Amino acid sequence: MKKIFIFASFAKLSLAVSLFPFHNSASLSNAPLARNSKLYQVLNASVVTTEKAKSANINCYTLNNLILSSAKFMPNFSNTLLTKKLPITKNINQCNDSDSVQQTDSTLPSSTKLALAVLDKDRKYKILITDYSGQHIQPIIISSAPITSLSWNKASNSIAYVSYEAGKPVVYIQNIYSSQRYVVANFNGSNSSPAFAGDSLLVSLSKDYGTHIYKIDLSKYTPKKTAAPLITTSSIDTEADYANGNIIFTSNKKNTPQIYLKRGSAQIQQISVNKNNITGRISNDGTKILYVHGNRGKYDLMYYDLDTNRTMKIDSGKILSGSFAPNNNLIAYIKNNGIIIYNLNNRNSAALPQLRYKETFDAKWSK
């Protein structure tokens, strides 16, 4: 009878989660973005246009071709955690449109993707991947248990996340092309807030005393490997993020949650202002930070520039988190369960109206 119960329990668990490989679809039917649309202007606000003679170059990109061009790349089916990047086969600076050519070193790579953790209208929890304009939506996970806290690896072929399918928060890494996944943190207590840091994963664990930030070496990972303590203050330490040698995290060591920065061996520095600041995210070049400031039921998305020490409010509302795009100038964030794209160059924003779900928990650009 005991064996039957164990088998039934495993069968129930296996039915709770469905994993799917991500494919760059070759048949794309979405209409191109109009040049006069607000989203087009937000995505291209930093583009510098120079006049050039008309050309019949068949490799020339329009914005729509740039968005759709990920269909032309062959996915990497390696099952390893740290695999090679997808090849970029064309140079967008050789393209021209009519009598002009768009040239910028802040244009998003055509392979850029956006990952979402959502509760869909069918009451299923999902991780969805779209192109950077929010189109061509594909699920890689469908589950009956909540999923949160997404993080892309540097090669943008694997996602770390937290799933509650085991009845408690457990951290997984999943290769999006092979759909193979690995349990990375399933210690006693809570396992949460994964963030890739080179060949390591930063996680928040409560396995010893309180909740603190630990480091797991992925290059030498085994299921029984012990996580090494990384940041342990006198209070709760969680929500770490990493870029270019800089680590930011949330800590309650001053009896109110604040965002802190750790640069190499330097002392930890508070960068948030006022009380109740959570969910810090750092740009890929390590120079810009987003965090959420809460005050009496209102939430502000705050921006901090490490080079200038300047703090700026970007938006207010029901805001959960933000994420920097690979070019470090575009931001995606959640507001009222929708996804907003914001351009730091001209402070303009636009919604992705096709990305509307019952509830949206996280949104992350690929690296």
Which residue do the tokens 């969805």 mark?
A: 128
Pairing of strands 48-51, 100-103: antiparallel
Domain ranges of the chain: 187-365
Mean pLDDT is lowest, of 49-58, 263-272, 289-298, 327-336, for 49-58
What is the reported pLDDT for 364? 97
Average of per-residue pLDDT across 335-349: 93
Buried/exposed code over 219-232 (b: 16+ C-beta within 10 A; e: otherwise):
eebeeeeebeebbe
The pLDDT value given to residue 42: 67
**Two tokens at 145?**
């248990």
Residue 298 β-bridge partners? 295
Comparing CA positions, the residue from 258, 197, 263, 200 lying closest to residue 233 is 258
Query: Rounded to 5 degrees, what angle do the CA atoms 142, 143, 148 make?
Result: 95
- pLDDT of 39: 66
Distance in angstroms (rounded) separating the CA atoms of residues 77 and 198: 20
Q: With left for phi above 0 and alpha for psi between -120 and 50, is residue 166 left, alpha or beta? A: alpha
Q: Are 318 and 342 contacting, i.e. CB atoms less than 8 angstroms apart? A: no
Token reading at 24: 């760059």
Stretch (H or E) spanning 81: none
Whether the pLDDT of residue 143 is over 80: the answer is yes
Rg (CA), the chain: 21
Cα 237 from Cα 86, distance rounded (Å): 35
Give the residue-averaged pLDDT of 341-365. 94
**Residue with the larger pLDDT of the pair 223 and 353:** 353
Average pLDDT (234-238) is 93
> Of the given ranges (73-77, 223-227, 240-244, 318-322), which has the lowest mean pLDDT?
73-77
pLDDT of 249 > 70? The answer is yes
Please, are residues 206 and 236 in contact by the beta-carbon 8 Å criterion?
no
Residue 108 has pLDDT above 90, yes or no: no
101, pLDDT greater than 60 = no
Q: What is the rounded average pLDDT of the residues 197-215?
A: 94
Map tokens 């009878």 to a residue: 1
pTM flag (> 0.85): no
Query: How far apart are alpha carbons 65 and 51 in whole angstroms?
Result: 20
What number is the average pLDDT over the span 91-113?
Answer: 54
Look at residue 90 and tell me whether its pLDDT is greater than 50.
no
Per-residue confidence (pLDDT) for residue 111, from 0 to 100: 85
Second CATH level (architecture) for the domain 187-365: 6 Propeller (2.120)
Instruction: State residue 107's pLDDT score.
Output: 72
Q: What is the pLDDT of residue 220?
A: 76
pLDDT score at 174 = 94
What is d(CA 112, CA 92) in angstroms, rounded to the nearest whole number? Answer: 14
Determine the pLDDT at residue 100.
40
CA 314, CA 323: separation in Å to the nearest integer? 13
